[in-house]
Structure 1
């Protein structure tokens, strides 16, 4: 096995709890909200998912890095997490498709990696006490200064992060001669979402998060899409106003994750920060229309208010998370619009939710033919 030089590291949580580990590669200090993902595979997709921007990622799988990395698994052009915390970090890989080790991939961006951590205890602590800010450092004996730095780390509640990950310039994806056109607002969009559209005879134009309705309309789209993304949805006031305009003009609209929350806010439904969020690839969802269960990939720390959703006469709850009964999908009764809290574009093994792209394209087709 490849030798990994390791130095002592400290993980300090906002509630004062401390965990110890070994820093692999670059030394330094970083902070952010600490959260965990229960996926046994898909670490490269997780690390490059813009929805994780600025978060410290704890992986519950015991071995990380053993199948290397490949550009085929990128969800964006760069690593978005602020640090990786794991139990066992592998310097070698055995996957034939891999072109680099995970260590090489992460160190190109000087990402802090801490291994040899009791991740079972750390995850149990987060589950019980909730996702919270943390600071990671190789300065293991500088605790007082680390405490001060941690206090200055902004809370995820009220934090607008879409602007940090959104494209700066509009771009297109797919075949320009495709039958349908979709205007996608980039709040932190994943590449596989775009692939799912293009395989359905659709040409996509991706717009920056602060694009106006008029600019998107110039593309003459057949439908609109609001992407996933990081941070609290409530500060995105202009995006909420944009969504209201799209709905007022009866355009087909589909939202995923943060996009789902924005659609809810545009309809007077509040959002809230969850205790520890949903992050993994085997979350059980019930489709209330079909009665069928779906195994889904999820990554969110905010959710929409269930009581307000059920009380809204224009909104129908379409999907429920079976672990905690939170709202996982909605449909507007009076508009061609629906959204889900999870990630139907992800294919962690099951592809139970990809039908949602077909459902949206059927909505686009029926609206276009009228």
Structure 2
């Protein structure tokens, strides 16, 4: 893992970046004075703009709720990022190459960037393949569950061809090495060498809280496929399944605004919830709900003790009604004491899936 970002780089990136350009991606800003811009605060509801940005000093402040800080603080607050993630995002917007302390930071940071680029390229490839004749069965599967083209585009659903190395050939032609692709979890290794990990499956991109594609979840389609029903990216330098919630990139703002999160079991459950208007739904990625998930949700939910149970947020667990699903729900509910928010387990009636 790369070390800490060099402080001189942190300072230079902040100095070179225009905070108004960053904030303007989230807030409509208008001239508010000689050296300031104003808009509606993204951190609380208001009718008259009390949110001010001063590009000359690189700071923002809301005179309504009191939120204030620099460009890094803004991204940390609105996108629920760590400080390092915020610095990296701002650096990327101005094409600044960061240097890290310890070890060989440029090479290590470059590797992370390459893995993310490989995942993004694979995502686009899978999306393109969903329109192929071979993927007809997959399209029928999605249609049968009420997911149209717009829904698939919203979640980036794709198809991995039933081929030994179609993805490998495609990505190596784009100058990714087999080592990079294996490290990213896109290739596996066997007696015949490396081969595509995902084959003949529907594929969902798994994104981190910032929206970067860090891995994939894939569903088996064919009866002659002896592999598991669901297959995820293995642990990689950028993907740690115990620290990821599927759909959080889409749900985070509504979770923060509504102070409610619905935890479901799978990718299609998240899709169905969002299409039904439950835009705070997320799912674990093939693993039990654990302490890292609790920390992630608390950060996005703003799970603090306000001293009034009526003002607390809500965490709702709803898994499949089968034995495995109910066991998972019970295990998740066991984390109840770690939340300030009120927690609930919802059981679907008549044995229906959520």
TM-score normalised by structure 1 residue count: 0.30
**Which protein has the bigger strand share?**
1
Give the number of the structure with larger relative contact order, counting CA–CA contacts within 8 Å between residues 6 or more apart. Answer: 1
**Structure number with bigger Rg:** 2
